[in-house]
């Protein structure tokens, strides 16, 4: 993907990226999702970990940090989730203790645990969120650029997942890991808004990948019932199955429309919080429904590993959970509608 320029596709040319519009980026992610959701997730999170550096980083940080990542030589990860803080990102407990004077620290010592960190332990560079002032809750969170191999930074359990297996996820353990102040992204207290702004972008990316998975499930199911014979004819002649395929096609198109609308809003500089939630929630639910319907249309062959259709269903389930559970996105949308 690095050789193709995809590992920096939506990043500006000023930092070495390909300068794709975000709408253009959704086309890339849809095609990757149609081929393999695990690969799409790996790339999406790699981009997710770079965007905050583009937006919040100093010139020195951009020059030092982004080059190998844009080229695909260093894989990135986004380290927010903890055992007690998943969707409730403000509740993180990983601590960043200042080393040196409070008004001019030399750096920070990170202590705590992150879980379900996509691309770990393979990733080389991690955007890590930790609290410099737990009493301040969300306002006390800061973001740090942490490299694999730093003293005090190790890996714990590797997740054994139901789906999206080709994309690793693992536990990060920080035991007094020293991070110089030059590796703090933004100011102390900026971490929470840095995380939320990045996640809004990432949700559009994941939505596009889910559209791709759903499209693949639809196309494969339609081809299957078009050649499978039963009851004196091909299955595609059965009205009930035709209606099901039509509904699958409708849902894919609706999810794609919401996704591309959210991407266009980002390109226009409009707020995308609610639009990205609508896109991610709708597209991942669509991926799950269409993949499940595809398994049904394939019958016993769909339940078998031989066709690969059951993998689409397993992969889609994960998409309903990560990047904010779909229940969280319902709350975001409801808050916008109801105030």
Q: Which residues are catalytic?
A: 323
Q: What is the DSSP string of 109-134?
A: EEEEEEEEEETTTT-SEEEEEEES-G
Are the C-beta atoms of residues 89 and 96 closer than 8 Å to each other? no
The whole-angstrom separation of Cα 144 and Cα 182 is 9
Task: Establish whether the linkage from the previous residue to 308 is cis, with ω within 30° of 0.
Answer: no
The whole-angstrom separation of Cα 312 and Cα 258 is 21
Question: In whole angstroms, what separates CA 210 from the centre of its chain?
Answer: 11
Query: How do beta strands 229-230 and 184-185 pair?
Result: unpaired
The whole-angstrom separation of Cα 11 and Cα 3 is 15
Place of tokens 């253009």: 24
Non-local (6+) Cβ contacts of 278 within 8 A are: 258, 262, 329, 333
* Adjacent-strand bridge partners of 179: 108
Are the C-beta atoms of residues 77 and 114 closer than 8 Å to each other? no
Rg (Cα) of the chain, in Å, rounded?
21
For residues 148, 152, 153 and 156, what is the CA-based torsion angle, rounded to 10 degrees?
140
Place of tokens 């035991």: 175
* Adjacent-strand bridge partners of 294: none
Helices (H) and strands (E) in the chain, counts: 9, 10
């Amino acid at each position: 993907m690095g050789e193709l320029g995809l590992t920096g596709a939506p990043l500006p040319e000023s930092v070495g990226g390909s300068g794709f519009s975000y709408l253009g980026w959704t086309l890339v992610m849809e095609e990757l999702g149609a081929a393999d959701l695990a690969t799409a997730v790996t790339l999406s999170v790699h981009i997710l970990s770079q965007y905050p550096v583009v937006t919040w980083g100093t010139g020195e940080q951009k020059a030092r940090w982004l080059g190998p990542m844009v080229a695909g030589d260093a894989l990135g990860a986004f380290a927010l989730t903890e055992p007690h803080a998943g969707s409730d990102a403000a509740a993180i407990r990983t601590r960043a203790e200042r080393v040196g004077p409070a008004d001019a620290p030399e750096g920070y010592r990170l202590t705590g645990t992150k879980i379900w960190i996509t691309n770990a332990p393979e990733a080389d560079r991690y955007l890590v969120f930790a609290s410099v002032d737990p009493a301040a809750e969300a306002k006390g969170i800061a973001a740090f650029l942490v490299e694999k191999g730093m003293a005090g930074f190790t890996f714990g359990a590797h997740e054994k997942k139901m789906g999206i297996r080709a994309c690793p996820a693992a536990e990060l353990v920080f035991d007094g890991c020293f991070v110089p102040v030059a590796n703090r992204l933004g100011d102390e207290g900026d971490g929470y808004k840095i995380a939320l702004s990045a996640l809004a972008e990432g949700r559009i990316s994941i939505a596009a990948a889910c559209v791709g998975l759903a499209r693949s499930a639809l196309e494969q199911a339609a081809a299957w019932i078009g050649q499978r014979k039963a009851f004196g004819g091909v299955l595609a002649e059965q009205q009930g199955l035709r209606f099901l395929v039509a509904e699958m096609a409708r849902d894919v198109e609706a999810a794609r429309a919401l996704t591309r609308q959210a991407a266009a809003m980002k390109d226009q500089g409009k707020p995308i919080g609610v639009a990205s939630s609508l896109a991610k929630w709708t597209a991942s639910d669509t991926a799950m429904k269409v993949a499940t319907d595809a398994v049904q249309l394939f019958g016993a062959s769909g339940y078998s590993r031989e066709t690969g259709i059951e993998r689409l269903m397993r992969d889609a389930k994960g998409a309903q959970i990560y990047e904010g559970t779909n229940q969280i996105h319902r709350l975001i949308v409801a808050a916008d509608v109801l105030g």
